[in-house]
Amino acid sequence: SQLYDYIIVGSGLFGSVFAHEMTKVGKKCLVIEKREHPGGNIYTEKVNGINVHKYGAHIFHTNDEDVWDYINQFASFNNYVNSPIAIYKNELYNLPFNMNTFSKLWGVKTPQEAKEVINQQIEASGIKEPRNLEEQAISMVGTDIYEKLIKGYTKKQWGRDPVDLPSFIIKRLPLRFTYDNNYFNDKYQGIPEGGYSKIIDKLLENVEVKLNTDFLDNKESYERMAAKIVYTGPIDELFGYHYGKLEYRGLRFETTLQNIENYQGCAVVNYTEESVPYTRIIEHKHFEFTKTEQTIITKEFPSEWKLGDERYYPVNDEQNQELYNKYRKMAKSNEKYILGGRLAEYKYYDMHVVIRSALNSVRKELEFE
């Protein structure tokens, strides 16, 4: 008979929630993680008293009351509200685009005045059917916001001129006609006190975990050891890139310790002009209102992705989506496997959605018993 009910490949949020729930109902689980630490991309590490978000800034936000209750079992969340700012040519603007932004741009005071300026610019552009990302953006927010706050940032983010990018990348550009700098519209928002790694440690408290272990190195023998495999790694890698590689956009982080208490007065500052090579500077201590004499900042440089690099943003264009669908079909034909999470499903997945998805997948499994 088999040693495990489930072998779970990957200790990210999906794998950890799945393993936790199954262990709770008496299933024997083994989590295999190829990195030297658990947690996948939400992993945080304490450095000089500051929790550093090692794979990019993570802010928890959700409208899903069940998911909020669920995650609060494993951490207590602070009242951090994400209010990033943008810097363009030494001028500072509030995000998301709201009355503070409009007032700074045009000196307007009322929503009516702001709408007038924006509508005039949209009309003057004469764009009826946007053919690319640039036209799409201008037709939604006008030329000033596009030129100062979107154009350079997008060009850096995707490594291509917005006129050469498809319009579907930007479906919506919310404009907010109130003086409200809260980036998210969700009912619940915050950062887990003590960092995200604490959540993962609690989820995996009673679960057997093997770090520094690549599932694909011993795939067949693991398959013999377990009734089912929950795979949260890259779907194309699982099948030996049979149809080719799924593309991603990369990110390079440059993290430094600064000998001052407060570097930028805000956790997230976007640099929207093209000539600054990074897109954002994250100052980690502000996520948790940490009081230390020094500070740690991370500059984010978008980069070309190649095999072997960390996968950050999936490039969900038609070509890649088609490729993904082929892999998906292959995966569906093998009943031993359950695929879940951002890499196996090839999509950008916020944390609350991943939790919901893992819980659904647990429920579906237990239904069939």
d(CA 63, CA 269): 25
Task: Say whether residue 339 binds ligand FDA (CB under 6 A).
Answer: no
Nearer to ligand FDA, 42 or 149 (CB): 42
Residues 35-74: x where in contact with ligand FDA by CB under 6 A, - otherwise, as a string: x----xxx-------------xxxxx--------------
Candidates 214, 266, 278, 301: give the one binding ligand FDA (CB under 6 A): 214
Q: Which of 300, 311, 312, 346 is catalytic?
A: 300
Active site residue 65: no
Q: Is 189 in the site for ligand FDA (CB under 6 A)?
A: no
The encoded tokens of residue 133 equal 């990302």
Applying CB under 6 A, among 342, 356, 362, 365 the residue interacting with ligand FDA is: 342
Shortest distance, CB of residue 126 to ligand FDA, whole angstroms? 36
Sign of CA dihedral 343, 304, 239, 318: positive
Q: Compute the Cα dihedral for 221, 225, 226, 231 and give only its sign.
A: negative
Sheet with 280-283, strands from edge to edge, namely 91-94, 85-88, 268-271, 280-283, 295-304, 248-258, 313-314
Instruction: Identify which range of 7-15, 131-139, 146-154, 267-275 contacts ligand FDA by CB under 6 A.
Output: 7-15
Using CA atoms, how far apart are residues 289 and 295, in angstroms rounded to an integer? 11
Q: Which of 354, 361, 362, 365 binds ligand FDA (CB under 6 A)?
A: 354
- Which of 6, 176, 183, 247 does the annotation list as catalytic? 176
| Residue linked to tokens 């995200």 | 196
Cβ proximity of 206 and 297 under 8 Å: no
Of 6, 7, 8, 14, which lies in the binding site for ligand FDA, with binding defined by CB under 6 A? 14
DSSP per residue, 226-253: EEEEEE-S-HHHHTTTTT-PPPEEEEEE
DSSP string, 297-342: EEEEEEEE--BTBPP-EE--SHHHHHHHHHHHHHHHT-TTEEE-ST
Catalytic residue check, 363: no
CB-count burial class (<10 Å; 0-12, 13-18, 19+) for 73? exposed
- Whether 350 is catalytic is yes
Distance in angstroms (rounded) separating the CA atoms of residues 54 and 41: 8
Q: Which stretch binds ligand FDA (CB under 6 A): 252-260, 273-281, 321-329, 343-351?
A: 343-351
Binders in 281-320 for ligand FDA, by CB under 6 A: 312
Contact call for residue 248 and ligand FDA (CB under 6 A): no
35, 249, 252, 328: the catalytic one is 249
Active-site residue 172, yes or no? yes
Which residue out of 129, 172, 220, 293 is catalytically annotated?
172
User: Among residues 87, 108, 216, 276, which is the contact residue for ligand FDA, using CB under 6 A?
Assistant: 216
User: Residue 5 and residue 227: Cα distance in Å, rounded?
Assistant: 5
Could you tell me if 163 and 199 are in contact, meaning their C-beta atoms sit under 8 angstroms apart?
A: no
- State the nearest-atom distance from the C-beta of 269 to ligand FDA, in Å: 15
Q: Are 138 and 154 in contact (CB under 8 A)?
A: no
Q: In the block, which residue shows the tokens 């295999």?
A: 32
Q: By C-beta, is 29 or 343 nearer to ligand FDA?
A: 343
User: Which residues are catalytic, by number?
Assistant: 172, 176, 249, 280, 300, 348, 350
Contact residues for ligand FDA, defined by CB under 6 A:
9-15, 32-35, 40-42, 56-60, 214-216, 232-233, 251, 312, 341-343, 349-352, 354
